[in-house]
Amino acid sequence: MSEKKRTICIDFDGVLHDYSNGFQGNDVFGEMIPGADTATKVLKKNGNTIIIYTTRPATDALKQWLKDHDISYDYINENPNQPKDSEGGKLIADMYIDDRGICFRGTWDEWFLRQIGEFKPWESEKKDLEKQMQQAYKEGDIWRLGQEKRITMKG
C-alpha cells in the first residue's frame, strides 16, 4: 500500500453507522457498521487526515457517538488545510468514502449510465435480500405443511 498521506472524507450515515431506518433527526443514530472503528484507527495511524463529512451538523451528540464507538477522526465537515481561496460546499480531499457514491473513471458511456441507472445503496440491497429471504421462508412453509403439489419423475 502507498505510503502517501491522504485526506480522506468519510460519510457518516450508512458508512460509520447503520442508516437503514433513514434520517430520524440530527441526534438519532444507528448501530456502528462493524469494523468502522478499526478501519478509522488504521487510516489515522498511517498518517491520514480523517474528515467526517456529513449532512448532519457537528453536534455534541454526534461527537459523543464517534467517541463512544472509538471512531478516529480529525475534523467534522471542515478541512482547515485547504486553500483559503477555495470556497464552496465540497471539501478538498484525496478521496471520499460514501455509501451513495459512484466512482467516475473518466468515461461517460453506456456502462457508466447503466451503473447510475441500476445504483442502489448497500442498505437497500440488504433490505431487498431480507424480503427475498422472508418470501423464501414463507414458500418453505408450504412444503412443510404438505400443501404443495409434488411432481415426481419415474425412471
Please say whether the beta carbons of 92 and 75 come within 8 A: no
Per-residue pLDDT for 26 more than 90? no
Nearest to 36 by CA among 71, 73, 76, 74: 71
User: For the chain, what are the domain ranges?
Assistant: 7-103+111-145
Question: What's the CATH fold of domain 7-103+111-145?
Answer: Rossmann fold (3.40.50)
Q: 41-60 burial string, b = 16+ CB within 10 Å, else e?
A: eebbeeebbbbbbbebeeee
Minimum mean pLDDT among 7-16, 105-114, 139-148: which range? 139-148
The predicted-structure confidence for 44-82, as pLDDT tens digits, reads as follows 999 999 999 999 999 999 999 999 999 999 999 999 988
- CA separation for the pair 48, 70 (Å, rounded): 17
